[in-house]
Structure 1
Amino acid sequence: MEDCAQMSMDQVEERLRSLIEDWGLSPFGKNIAFMWLSKAAIDETDQLSRLRQWTVMQLNKRQRPANVSPWQFGCPNLLPGLRSQPVWLEDMYDTFPWIRKLETAFPVIRDEMLQLKHSTANFQPYRAPSWAGVKQAADGVGSISHDAGDWNVFYLHLHDVDYAQNRALCPMTTSILESIDQHYEHAFFSALAPQTHITKHHGPTNKKLRCHLPLVVPSEDSCRLRVGDEIVHVREGECFVFDDSFEHEAWNDHPTKSRIVLVVDVWHPSLSGPETKFFKFLRKARLKMERKHAEGDQDGFYQILKDAQHLQANPDAIWT
Structure 2
Amino acid sequence: MLDPALFDWAPEISRHWSDIREEALAIYRDVEAIPPLRRISPDHRRIASDDRWRSFFLLGYGHEVPANIARARRTYELVKRIPKLNSAFFSILAPGAHIVRHRGVTKGFFTAHLGLVVPEDSENCTIQVNDQDLHWKAGEWTMFDDTCEHEVWNNTDQPRIILLCQVGRPLRWPASWVATAFMLYIKHSPFVREARHELRSWDDAFRVAEDNERV
TM-score by length of 2: 0.81
> Structure 1 residues 188, 228: CA separation in 2 closer, same or farther (over 3 Å shift)?
same
Specify every segment of 5 or more residues in structure 2 that has no aligned partner in the other structure, as ranges: 210-215
Which residue pairs with 1:266 in the alignment?
A: 167
Partner of 2:114: 213
- Alignment counterpart, residue 21 of structure 2, candidates 86, 97, 110: 110
Structure 1: how far apart are the matches of 2:144 and 2:80? 20
Unaligned runs of 5+ in 1: 1-86, 134-142, 295-299, 316-320
**Contact 1:216–1:259 at 8 Å: present in 2 too?**
yes
Are the structure 2 counterparts of residues 112 and 180 from structure 1 closer, same or farther at C-alpha, using a change threshold of 3 Å?
same
The code of the aligned residue for 1:167 comes to: I
State the one-letter code of the partner of 2:145.
Answer: D
What is the rounded CA distance, in whole Å, between the counterparts of 1:109 and 1:274 in structure 2?
36
Structure 2 matches for 1:172-251, cutoff 5 A? 172-183=74-85, 185-219=86-120, 220-251=122-153
Q: Distance in 2 between matches of 1:147 and 1:285?
A: 29
Task: Give the alignment's Cα RMSD to 1 decimal.
Answer: 2.9
The corresponding residue for 2:68 is 166
Cα distance, 1:157 vs. partner?
0.9
1:306 maps to which residue? 197
**Partner secondary structure for residue 114 of structure 1:** helix
Q: How far is 1:265 from its partner?
A: 1.3
Q: 1:120 deviation in Å?
A: 11
Structure with larger Rg:
1
Structure 1 residues 273 and 107, CA gap change in structure 2 (3 angstroms): farther
- TM-score, normalized by length of structure 1? 0.56
Shift of the alpha carbon at 1:258?
A: 0.5
Structure 2 letter corresponding to 1:96: F
Which amino acid in structure 2 is aligned with residue 310 of structure 1? S
CA shift for structure 1 position 306: 2.1
Q: Distance in 2 between matches of 1:230 and 1:120?
A: 30
| Residue 105 to residue 252, structure 1, CA distance change in 2 (3 Å) | same
- The structure-2 alpha-carbon separation of the partners of 1:237 and 1:162, relative to structure 1 and needing over 3 Å to count, comes to closer
Aligned length: 202
CA distance in 2 between counterparts of 1:106 and 1:145 reads 28
Greater relative CO (CA pairs within 8 A, separation 6+): 2
CA distance in 1, matches of 2:31, 2:140: 29
Separation in structure 1 between the aligned mates of residue 196 and residue 98 of structure 2, nearest angstrom:
22
Higher strand share: 2
Partner Cα distance (1:235, 1:224) in 2:
11
Q: Secondary structure at the match of 2:111?
A: strand
Amino acid in the other structure paired with 1:227: V
SS at match of 2:140: coil
Q: Deviations over 1:265-291 (max 9, x none)?
A: 11223x148864x3565245424652x
Q: Which runs of 4+ in 1 moved over 6 A?
A: none
**Residue 212 of structure 2: aligned partner:** none
Distance in 2 of aligned mates of 1:109 and 1:234: 16
Contact 1:124 1:309 in 2 (8 A): no
| Offset, 1:172 | 1.4
What is the CA-CA distance between 1:218 and the residue it aligns to? 1.1
Conserved 8 A contact 1:122-1:154:
no
